[in-house]
Amino acid sequence: MHHHNHYYGQSHILARYAGLDDEFPPRLRGYLQHGWNIGCGWNPVHEF
């Protein structure tokens, strides 16, 4: 699990939503993006 999933609370929020223990949430495999910026997930030639 990428430490940001825990630090920013995504694993806790998703566990609570799924009815799981949000105090000790299960580990997420991989990285769940917690924010957005102009360099994430967009084609570099996309107009904004």
Instruction: State whether the Cα torsion 23-17-3-38 is positive or negative.
Output: negative
Tens digits of per-residue pLDDT, 1-48? 667 767 778 888 899 999 999 999 988 887 777 666 666 655 566 565
Q: What is the pLDDT of residue 37?
A: 63
Which is nearest to 9 in space by CA: 34, 37, 40, 36? 34
Give the global pTM: 0.59
